[in-house]
Amino acid sequence: MLCDDVSQVTMHRPLYLVAAGYLAIGGALLLAPAPVDTGRDPAVGGAASSAAAWFAATKPYCNAVEVETRLAARPAPGGPEGVGFHAACFALAGKIDSARAAIMRLPPATRWTAAGIVFGVGHPVADAGDDRSAGPIMELVLEFWPNHYMALYHAGMAEYALGQRQRARANLAEFLRQYATEDGWRRNAIAVLDELAR
C-alpha cells in the first residue's frame, strides 16, 4: 500500500521494522548449519556467559607467543562452551594440535558444541577473505562437526588456494550437496570445482 502523507509512513514504520527483524532472524536460522546427530540442542550460553566474558578478556593473548602461558595461568571455565573458547584461542594462535586436544577431553556427544564455538571465532577471518589462515581452523571444526556446510566451504577454498586439490574437491562437493541456495558461496564453489576438473 502506498501512503499519501508522511504521517501514514511514520505510523506504519514500526511494523516495517518488526517485519524486517523477523525476516533477518528467519534468514539466519535457515543459514545455520545442521549439527551431527546428537538428539539435543547445544548447551551454549549467551554473550554474557562466563565463558564468553573469559574469551573477550583473553582474545588479545591468543597469539603464538602468549597463548600457552596465558591459558595456563587463566584457564577457561569448564563445560563445552568454555572448552570451545579455550580451543578457539589455541586455534587463533595457530596451535591446532592443542585446540584439538582440548576438544578431545570432552565427552564425544558434546565435542561438536565446542567445535561450533571454534567456527564462530574463526569465521570472521574466512569471511574477510583470508581462507588460507582460516583453513586449518575450518578443518578442525570438520573433525568434530563433519556436516557443517560453511566449514566445508571455507576448508575447501583454503585447500584449493594451497594446491590440495583432492581435499578441496571433496569438501566443496559436499558443501554443494548440502547447500542449495543460489548465491555467491555456491557460485564460487562451482567455479572452483570446474577449475579442478580441468
On whether the CB atoms of residues 171 and 147 are closer than 8 A, the answer is no
Task: Please indicate, yes or no, if residue 173 is contained in any of the structural domains.
Answer: yes
Q: What is the pLDDT of residue 131?
A: 77
Within this chain, do residues 119 and 171 fall inside the same structural domain, yes or no? no
Q: What is the pLDDT of residue 151?
A: 96
pTM over 0.85: no
Residue 133 — pLDDT band, cuts 50, 70, 90?
A: confident
Query: Mind listing the pLDDT tens digit for each residue in 98-114?
Result: 999 999 999 999 999 99
DSSP the chain: ---SSHHHHHHHHHHHHHHHHHHHHHHHHHHSPPPPS-SS------TTSHHHHHHHHHGGG-STTTHHHHHHHSPPPSHHHHHHHHHHHHHHTT-HHHHHHHHHTS-GGGHHHHHHHHHHHHHHHHHTT-HHHHHHHHHHHHHH-TT-HHHHHHHHHHHHHTT-HHHHHHHHHHHHHH----SHHHHHHHHHHHHHH-
Residue 30 — pLDDT band, cuts 50, 70, 90?
A: very low
The answer, yes or no, to whether residue 118 has pLDDT greater than 80, is: yes
Residue type, 162: L
Residue-number span of the structural domain to which 52 is assigned: 47-131
Task: Please indicate, yes or no, if residue 187 is contained in any of the structural domains.
Answer: yes
Within this chain, do residues 69 and 125 fall inside the same structural domain, yes or no? yes
On whether the CB atoms of residues 114 and 88 are closer than 8 A, the answer is no
Task: Give the chain's domain count.
Answer: 2
Task: Please indicate, yes or no, if residue 18 is contained in any of the structural domains.
Answer: no
Within this chain, do residues 154 and 188 fall inside the same structural domain, yes or no? yes
Q: C-alpha grid cell for residue 29?
A: 536460522
3-state SS track over 80-134: HHHHHHHHHHHHHCCCHHHHHHHHHCCCHHHHHHHHHHHHHHHHHHHHCCCHHHH
Task: Please indicate, yes or no, if residue 11 is contained in any of the structural domains.
Answer: no
Task: Please indicate, yes or no, if residue 151 is contained in any of the structural domains.
Answer: yes
Within this chain, do residues 51 and 126 fall inside the same structural domain, yes or no? yes
Task: Please indicate, yes or no, if residue 35 is contained in any of the structural domains.
Answer: no
Query: Mind listing the pLDDT tens digit for each residue in 38-71?
Result: 223 344 444 458 999 999 999 999 999 999 999 9
Within this chain, do residues 117 and 171 fall inside the same structural domain, yes or no? no
Query: Mind listing the pLDDT tens digit for each residue in 138-183?
Result: 999 999 999 999 999 999 999 999 999 999 999 999 999 999 999 9
The label of the residue with cell 573433525 reads 143
